[in-house]
Chain A
């Protein structure tokens, strides 16, 4: 019996108890009634005490959404989503927004502790709990955290430290109150409400998310992070993130996501908009670990996300790094519109699917400015009965003299019941542009496995090692602590299938 098959069998026997973020929190919630209509939108807007223009914006988006149909081009299969069978608003019951962490419901704090998310202002990061030889807290880089629990932000840390640097980091619902001129100017300016079905839906019903503003010339003094948690049953999460980096500024932003283990599928449809002006840089990292469903494909999050960055200024740079291990369905294409001359877009992605997970993910690089440059590195790993698709577009506009793109997209198959697919679109209208695209599909070679095992590694460890090696070009783009978490996550996600 070939070594891989043997491992598959062995590990298949082990159950899928691997999702350790699958607990739920028992907390008193305020829920909107199920269903979607204008009244629900008015209710959400009223709960958030929004100005009239934003309510109008939502209602316009809803009108657009009603006329649209769900996209069908992705290689994804799922039963029809009943948009009327969801709660569009769910928030932990509380008095007016907590003034400090001491006012946050202790049950929530415990939840985040359990998830390894530091809501106390100390320097520690998600997922590295128990890491051997970890340096003392004081030596760690500081990370400011915004925690979104179902529909609302429950806490944001380090706000005052950031304020001293002029950085605004707060829930977007708070930004609507405190910085309406900025929100109004940029909301929907990168992803218009009619961009696609899920973006229109999000625009109509988004409840919270993070808002970041980095003023001219400021290098954000710490990493910013948002942690998304879906907890309530039958609830959709629709968060909206907006990051604006003014001329010459820099910010590194991280997001993490988990959800309880539930039998039903839950909907998550987010929109993220990034704007970078002259010489500004935004580095956006994601570790997506929504509940993927069980080993039979029951339950799990449907993750339909629109992420787009707009390099408006010359020499601006937007870099997306994602490690996607969760969700039953992932539909997500973090993209860059490279408008400023000499602007740079990057997309580094690891997508791992196991059991019955389906991922259709990739990027779009739209080259408009001169000498714009993009790099795409995508690593897809399919195991179990899963299907994993890379879908990407590189478009070189007629004006984009001297534009460059390099794309490398590799797929690894583990087991013979899964699928790995590659769908790139390459469009060039400028003879001075240069595009290179390479894609490979392979499996873990028996001789690599044997070599590792001969050196004393278990087969599970060997597979983990090889998979991590396969993903190295992407993982090295993550901030260090996140990379540690991502590596562990890859190993855990492969559990119950191979190693």
Chain B
């Protein structure tokens, strides 16, 4: 599904990713763990196409397509979803309209029929209910006046509606209490199946108790320094990053 080879990237001439090699097969959930400043968020932004990040080398393909050459919206239509660490507020943009516009733009790009307002609302309400989100969250402006937990739940709601092939969750657990964490994890787990992959980026092992990954990768100084099974996250929890990243002690 996602194949990254030797990916190097920089911001303002400063190297952040120094040759990432990573493969996420279809249907698998992988976790990326790493200390602050290891390049976790940069990886998610480079994969989703945010401006200001310079790709200096390497490749990233998604379902066989070179995603690095694509516009952000083309990547989204191809099935790539980024759950933002800091979801952006859009004053004046109604949440439901926003979601329908996004969903229909993607459906259009894939040659699928668009949903009308009634069809969409039915779908959105059902998903919102499943995520224990109040109905009025759909009526409010996107993320405006949302609490930290509400913003993250809104990200998961979008993911549920847009049905991506690969979701990148960028520290979605940060700032969440245990109840909100469970709701987010349930939202991800509900999508798990043979056609859904996820890259869960996190600093802590906590989220991985709820979203059990198939593989865990440790990112340090812009490289994957170790990969393993879910047990690697536990080892990390016990020994800290120092055991894997001597320089970061």
Direct contact of A and B (CB under 8 A): no
